[in-house]
């Protein structure tokens, strides 16, 4: 903890705290932490103007490892606490670190409302599809049938699609990335950082101890080209080792079709992040393995005034129309009388 | 006919009718004129939880009671001297609230077959023997109101709406209340419609004249001015006093007030009041639930605002986890709990003092914090400012307990002199070159940790719910450190005992019996002691606005009395705290759990048993 303010531009190391990182060896959180620190170093914001707020879970230890202001709160409430924080200080850059249990189970209500209000913070939802800190129970994103310590006969809960939920809640920025592709992770974080309002980023993260290789069928080296789509603005949704397949709509249903580089097939879906409604992004958020490839990248990024700014605006308008309130008018306002 | 005049010390009037009958409004107007005429007063609205129960039904009766007086009073009166009953249901529900020999003004226009049926009353309801104990004044308010308005071309609906002013006019004559204040109010309220000004004015005057010439009202009563302390006054209800206190406290601390809340009876008016005061820089946040409300408030405090949340019992249950977090991260936070009858959803619009032990103890592990209470509506201002002061100075959550009676009850509030309000500005740390910042270092006097505000260069630090190491605030599972931090937090709260006003005794400083209360029971205890001492007894009263910690001199005071009576609207919660803290003293609990404030004569009887 250095007492002097550091000069801009910052380096990645400026954001490294003096605390020993205590995640399991091989945990995907290491890569996320490093990429967040790298991304912040690029942003030209003094580090005292960052706050990292988390709930409970493995990834929620994150703030302790960041040399910024930080608040490790209670289970599920990071978004609630961050909401108050960002309303109080719209001038600061607020980042929420949460997990699949923290954000989608115990804290689900706060996620829905943060998104619909467009709170001015980033939400990094680190999804490993398991409860790690409690040693391996099923989470709200665990697959149907998943055998865990709390579901020895297989989970009979259907998983939540976090991105669909976010879009249905009116999110203005929605993205998905993964721990094993640092470049994509970094690029996605940069785009999230540039967004004003709630930037919701789901990060696929591998839990080496309790859910190792859960994402491997999609993101594993041998599968990823055939089962992942990297979303690129204004380009068709192309995937495959030979880049020979793409997504098109058949009526109301997306389907896989053959693709040839340079072909101008008007049936192909072309990726846009700024459509006025979220129908398209929602459709993307429903694409899932094994039926379909899984999209990664920015699904939606639209301009919408952040909540904190609206709060400030109402206060300024009230002051303009009523004058700035003082204690005299507050206490001595209304009908008063004198007793001699 | 010539009428006699008589002077009385105090009068209690109760207006009762359907929610749409304008009873709260009539009561408010009578309150205002009584204030202007220099009386002391206490009001008490008594309304159902249902918003609009069926017209004329027993469940839909809404009442408003006002007592105005020459002597100082703190209760709205046990029984009404006069009841205005706008329909059979209102009469039926309120018979038990009228003094024997009292006057009942009955709106006979509403005693139709349908309304009698709705109230499950028989056609000869008014001939029931129970009414022989009262003077019944039958007034066809509907017909009289319409006749007062016959010159005006008013729609029937609008004319019907004026009838509460006829009733008010009758009451005003009866108790020598001037009409000017109400007439001015009518002009201002209806300034957009000359017709409505004329109509309401005409009806009010007609009511007044009707009473003046009525042979059934041979006597006009007067209540002389009260001897209130000199100063400027305004009428205030508890929820408004707390709201004004919170804005004032934040202002004195140089902080933005952040109020996070979720609507809940009877605390909602605080959110509404603050939301309407944005020009004071107040940030209000109607959160998605009780947990988010306190969470946001704590987040705002971490960010350097003054975080406040407000709720009632069921919401307190939900807030306890974040409240505990606030204890560990040692940030200022004020929690207003406007207590209502429970457990669970209970009786939302009624009151009790049931959340004291929850406030002191209701969190996992050892979780000390400050608990305060107001004793009268106007006291809400003082105690809200106190809550802000202690929260900031000691970096701690502070719970301020009010209740459903104080929330909506009004009294004259002596306005504070603004220049004499304290400076509550905290000292925020700045980075010192070459010196490491310790977020969990402590002020040697208060044991408070520094409040470093995000955005301050060089003071970046992390707080959180995991146990914190002394000084650095790093996560620590070290046994010795854990013990040390638990002790620090307990000692910090204990030290506040000498930084709050000592307990004062009203009446003899020593003797056989001290009556010790907290919260809104103050008024009833005050009245009972006055009454008993007039009868030759020698009782003393002490009242606790500070419940945790107790003021440092409490033990000393208790030791001067043989027995301590503790009336509470619960099953003995202060009693538990007192017996724990002072195991050798004799405490006797007096309990009531019916959702109503103590009635003076009921409490008086109970206290007499121990004299």
How close is the nearest chain A Cα to the Cα of B482, in Å?
A: 18
**SS3 of residue B519 by DSSP:** helix
Please, which pLDDT band fits residue A186 given cuts at 50, 70 and 90?
Answer: very high
Each residue's pLDDT tens digit, A38-73: 999 999 999 999 999 999 999 999 999 999 999 999
Q: What count of Cα atoms within 13 Å lies in the side-chain half-sphere of residue B430?
A: 3
Residue A141 lies in a domain: yes
Residue A105 lies in a domain: yes
Give yes or no for residue A122 having a pLDDT over 90: yes
Which ipTM score applies to this complex? 0.97
**Which of A84, A326, A337 is best to mutate for the B interface (most B CBs within 10 A)?**
A84
Shortest CA distance from B185: residue in chain A: A335
What pLDDT is stored for residue A2 in this prediction? 47
Is A8 an interface residue toward B (CB < 8 Å)? no
Which residue in the set B38, B247, B460 is minimally distant from A67, CB to CB? B460
Shortest CA distance from A73: residue in chain B: B464
In this prediction the pTM is: 0.97
Read off the tokens for B103.
Answer: 């006057």
A48 CB neighbours in chain B (<8 A) are: 454-460
Q: How far apart are CA B131 and CA A54, in angstroms?
A: 67
**What's the CATH number where A105 sits?**
3.40.50.970
How close is the nearest chain B Cα to the Cα of A55, in Å?
A: 9
**Which of A331, A333, A334 is best to mutate for the B interface (most B CBs within 10 A)?**
A331
A69 CB neighbours in chain B (<8 A) are: 454-455, 460-462
Window 65-104 of A: residues touching B by CB (8 A cutoff) are 66-74, 77, 80-89, 91-92
Residue A95 lies in a domain: yes
Is A315 an interface residue toward B (CB < 8 Å)? yes
Is B325 an interface residue toward A (CB < 8 Å)? yes
Window 281-320 of B: residues touching A by CB (8 A cutoff) are 281-283, 285, 287-289, 291-292, 295-305, 307
B335 CB neighbours in chain A (<8 A) are: none
Domains and their CATH numbers in chain B: 4-222 (3.40.920.10), 234-420 (3.40.50.970), 505-608 (3.40.50.920)
Mean pLDDT of the residues in chain A: 96
Task: Give kind and range of the element (H or E) at residue B11.
Answer: strand B10-18
Whose CA is closest to A166, among A126, A204, A118?
A118
Residue A244 lies in a domain: no
What pLDDT is stored for residue A3 in this prediction? 45
Contacts of residue A298, Cβ cutoff 8 Å, sequence gap at least 6: A173, A174, A175, A188, A191, A231, A233, A273
Read off the DSSP letter of residue B152.
S
What pLDDT is stored for residue A1 in this prediction? 43
Contacts of residue B451, Cβ cutoff 8 Å, sequence gap at least 6: B304, B331, B332, B392, B395, B426, B428, B429
Residue A290 lies in a domain: no
Q: Is B66 exposed, middle or buried (0-12, 13-18, 19+ CB in 10 A)?
A: buried
Residue A22 lies in a domain: yes
What pLDDT is stored for residue A220 in this prediction? 97
How close is the nearest chain B Cα to the Cα of A210, in Å?
A: 23
Whose CA is closest to A276, among A249, A303, A313, A257?
A303
Q: How many CB pairs under 8 A join A and B?
A: 227
Which residue in the set A68, A70, A327 is minimally distant from B248, CB to CB? A327
Between residues B197 and A265, the one the model is more confident about? B197
Residue A82 lies in a domain: yes
Are A2 and B458 in contact (CB < 8 Å)? Answer: yes
Is B321 an interface residue toward A (CB < 8 Å)? yes
Is A331 an interface residue toward B (CB < 8 Å)? yes
Ordered DSSP codes for B308-359: EEEE-HHHHHHHHHHHHHHHHHT--EEEEEEE-B-STT-BTTS---TTHHHH
How close is the nearest chain B Cα to the Cα of A330, in Å?
A: 7
Q: How far apart are CA B569 and CA B353, in angstroms?
A: 5
Are A339 and B231 in contact (CB < 8 Å)? Answer: yes
Q: What are phi and psi of A82, to 5 degrees?
A: -65, -30
Which residue in the set A5, A17, A77 is minimally distant from B431, CB to CB? A5
Across the 611 residues of chain B, what is the mean pLDDT of every consecutive 10-residue run? 91 94 94 95 87 86 96 95 96 95 96 95 92 94 94 86 96 96 95 94 97 93 96 97 98 98 98 98 98 98 98 98 98 98 94 97 97 98 98 98 97 97 98 96 98 97 97 97 98 98 97 98 97 96 98 98 98 98 97 95 97 92
Is A3 an interface residue toward B (CB < 8 Å)? yes
Are B229 and A328 in contact (CB < 8 Å)? Answer: no
What pLDDT is stored for residue B19 in this prediction? 82
How close is the nearest chain A Cα to the Cα of B387, in Å?
A: 18
Are B455 and A68 in contact (CB < 8 Å)? Answer: no
Residue A262 lies in a domain: no
Domain range enclosing A59: 12-214+305-312
Each residue's pLDDT tens digit, A102-115: 999 999 999 999 99
Q: Tell me the CA end-to-end span of chain B in Å, nearest whole number.
A: 50
What pLDDT is stored for residue A5 in this prediction? 54
Each residue's pLDDT tens digit, A1-19: 444 556 889 999 999 999 9
Is A17 an interface residue toward B (CB < 8 Å)? yes
Q: How many domains does chain A have?
A: 1
Q: Region A210-238: what's the mean pLDDT?
A: 97
Which residue in the set B244, B283, B322 is minimally distant from A331, CB to CB? B244
Shortest CA distance from B378: residue in chain A: A331
């Amino acid at each position: 903890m250095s007492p002097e303010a550091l000069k801009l531009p910052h380096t990645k190391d400026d954001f490294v705290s003096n605390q020993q990182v205590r995640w399991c060896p091989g945990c995907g959180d290491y890569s996320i932490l490093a990429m967040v620190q790298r991304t912040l170093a690029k942003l030209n914001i003094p580090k005292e103007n960052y706050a990292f707020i988390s709930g409970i879970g493995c990834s929620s230890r994150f703030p302790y490892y960041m040399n910024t202001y930080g608040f490790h709160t209670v289970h599920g409430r990071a978004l609630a606490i961050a909401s108050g924080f960002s309303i109080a200080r719209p001038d600061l850059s607020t980042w929420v670190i949460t997990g699949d249990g923290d954000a989608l189970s115990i804290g689900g209500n706060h996620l829905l409302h943060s998104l619909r209000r467009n709170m001015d913070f980033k939400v990094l939802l680190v999804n490993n599809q398991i409860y790690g800190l409690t040693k391996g129970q099923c989470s709200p994103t665990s697959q149907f049938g998943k055998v865990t310590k709390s579901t020895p006969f297989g989970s009979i809960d259907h998983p939540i699609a976090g991105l669909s939920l976010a879009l249905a809640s009116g999110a203005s920025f929605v993205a998905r990335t993964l721990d094993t592709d640092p470049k994509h992770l970094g690029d996605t974080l940069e785009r999230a950082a540039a967004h004003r309002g709630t930037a919701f980023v789901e990060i696929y993260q591998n839990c080496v101890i309790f859910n190792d290789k859960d994402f491997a069928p999609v993101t594993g080296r041998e599968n990823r080209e055939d089962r992942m789509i990297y979303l690129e603005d204004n380009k068709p949704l192309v995937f495959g080792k030979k880049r020979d397949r793409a997504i098109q709509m058949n009526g109301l249903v997306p389907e896989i079709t053959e693709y040839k580089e340079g072909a101008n097939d008007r049936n192909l879906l072309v990726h846009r992040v700024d459509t006025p409604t979220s129908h398209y992004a929602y459709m993307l958020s429903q694409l899932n393995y094994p039926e379909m490839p899984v999209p990664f990248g920015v699904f939606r990024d639209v301009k919408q005034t952040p909540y904190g700014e609206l709060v400030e605006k109402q206060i300024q308008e009230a002051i303009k129309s009523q004058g700035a309130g003082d204690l005299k008018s507050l206490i001595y306002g209304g009908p008063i009388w004198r007793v001699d | 006919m010539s009428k006699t005049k008589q002077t009385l010390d105090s009068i209690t009037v109760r207006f009762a009718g359907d929610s749409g009958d304008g009873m709260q409004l009539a009561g408010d107007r009578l309150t205002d004129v009584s204030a202007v005429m220099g009386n002391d007063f206490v009001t008490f609205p008594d309304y159902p939880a249902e918003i609009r129960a069926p017209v004329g039904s027993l469940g839909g009766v809404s009442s408003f009671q006002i007592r105005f007086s020459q002597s100082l009073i703190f209760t709205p009166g046990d029984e009404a001297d006069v009841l205005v009953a706008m329909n059979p249901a209102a009469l039926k529900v309120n018979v038990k609230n009228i003094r024997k020999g009292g006057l009942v003004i009955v709106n006979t226009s509403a005693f139709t077959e349908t309304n009698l049926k709705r109230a499950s009353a028989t056609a000869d309801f008014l001939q029931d023997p129970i009414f022989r104990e009262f003077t019944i004044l039958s007034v066809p308010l509907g017909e009289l109101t319409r006749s007062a308005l016959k010159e005006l071309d008013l729609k029937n609906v609008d004319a019907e709406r004026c009838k509460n002013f006829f009733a008010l006019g009758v009451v005003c004559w009866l108790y020598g209340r001037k009409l000017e204040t109400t007439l001015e109010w009518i002009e201002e309220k209806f300034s957009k419609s000359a017709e409505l000004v004329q109509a309401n004015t005409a009806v009010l005057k007609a009511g007044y004249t009707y009473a003046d010439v009525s042979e059934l009202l041979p006597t006009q009563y007067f209540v002389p001015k009260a001897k209130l302390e000199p100063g400027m006054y305004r009428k205030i209800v508890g929820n408004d006093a707390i709201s004004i206190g919170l804005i004032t406290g934040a202002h004195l601390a140089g902080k933005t007030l952040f109020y996070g809340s979720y609507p809940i009876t009877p605390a909602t008016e605080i959110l509404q009041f603050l939301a309407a005061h944005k020009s004071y820089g107040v940030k209000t946040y109607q959160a998605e639930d009780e947990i988010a409300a306190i969470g946001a408030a704590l987040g705002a405090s971490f960010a350097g605002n003054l975080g406040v949340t407000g709720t009632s019992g069921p919401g307190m249950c939900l807030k306890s986890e974040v409240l505990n977090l606030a204890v560990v991260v040692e940030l200022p936070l004020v929690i207003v709990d406007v207590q209502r009858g429970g457990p669970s959803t209970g009786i939302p619009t009624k009151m009790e003092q049931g959340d004291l032990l929850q406030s002191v103890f209701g969190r996992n592990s050892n979780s000390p914090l400050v608990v305060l209470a107001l004793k009268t509506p106007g006291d809400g201002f003082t105690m809200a400012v106190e809550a802000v002061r202690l929260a900031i100075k000691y970096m701690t959550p502070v719970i301020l307990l009010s209740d459903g009676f104080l929330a909506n009850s009004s009294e004259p509030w002596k306005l504070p002199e603004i220049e004499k309000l304290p400076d509550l500005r905290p000292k925020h740390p700045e980075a010192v070159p070459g010196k490491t910042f310790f977020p969990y270092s402590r002020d040697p006097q208060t044991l408070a940790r520094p409040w470093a505000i995000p955005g301050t260069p060089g003071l970046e630090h992390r707080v959180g719910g995991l146990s914190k190491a002394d000084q650095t605030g790093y996560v620590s599972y070290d046994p010795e450190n854990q013990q040390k931090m638990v002790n620090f937090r307990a000692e910090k709260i204990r030290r506040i005992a000498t930084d709050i006003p000592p307990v004062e005794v009203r009446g003899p400083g020593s003797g056989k019996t001290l009556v010790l209360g907290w919260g809104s029971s103050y008024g009833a205890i005050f009245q009972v002691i006055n009454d008993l001492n007039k009868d030759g007894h020698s009782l003393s009263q002490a009242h606790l606005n500070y419940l945790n910690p107790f003021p440092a001199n409490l033990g000393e005071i208790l030791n001067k009395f043989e027995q301590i009576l503790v009336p509470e609207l619960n099953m003995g919660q202060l009693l538990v705290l007192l017996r724990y803290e002072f195991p050798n003293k004799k405490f006797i609990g007096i309990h009531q759990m019916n959702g109503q404030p103590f009635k003076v004569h009921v409490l008086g009887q109970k206290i007499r048993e121990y004299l």
